[in-house]
Amino acid sequence: MNVERFNNFSGLLLSAKKIKLFLETLGFTSMPTKTDHLKFQVPSHRFDMELEEDLYEEILRCYGYDNIPINPPKSGPVAKVTDILHLQS
């Protein structure tokens, strides 16, 4: 699991240590790796874990959905010139 990608996805700045703690609490086993990515063995009863994003969901659940800061969108919808002309006529 790529910690930087998780943080970009979630808007949080969690450390690898914190992420490991959350997942190990849920029964995931941390596996050694030679890269800066985290690797976990999924508990045998967790049939719902298939994608990296499934881990994201578990981490965010442990972090607490109510604790995730609400950030306004970086940009809004962009209107096409034809839409603007249509509205003016």
Q: What's the pLDDT score for residue 69?
A: 85
**Considering the domain boundaries, does residue 21 fall inside one?**
yes
**Considering the domain boundaries, does residue 25 fall inside one?**
yes
Mean pLDDT by runs of 10 across the 89 residues of the chain is: 93 94 97 89 94 96 92 64 58
Q: What's the pLDDT score for residue 42?
A: 95
**Considering the domain boundaries, does residue 47 fall inside one?**
yes
Q: Which of 11, 6, 41 is nearest to 23 (CA)?
A: 41
Provide the 10 A C-beta neighbour count for residue 80: 8
**Considering the domain boundaries, does residue 80 fall inside one?**
no
**Considering the domain boundaries, does residue 75 fall inside one?**
no
Q: What is the CATH number of the domain that holds 25?
A: 3.30.56.10
**Considering the domain boundaries, does residue 88 fall inside one?**
no
Q: What is the pTM of this model?
A: 0.76
Amino acid at position 65, single letter: Y
For the chain, what is the domain count?
Answer: 1
Report whether 31 contacts 41 (CB < 8 A).
Answer: yes
Residue 7: domain span: 3-67
For 31-54, give one letter per residue: b (16+ CB within 10 A) or e.
eeeeeeebebebeeeeeeeeeeee
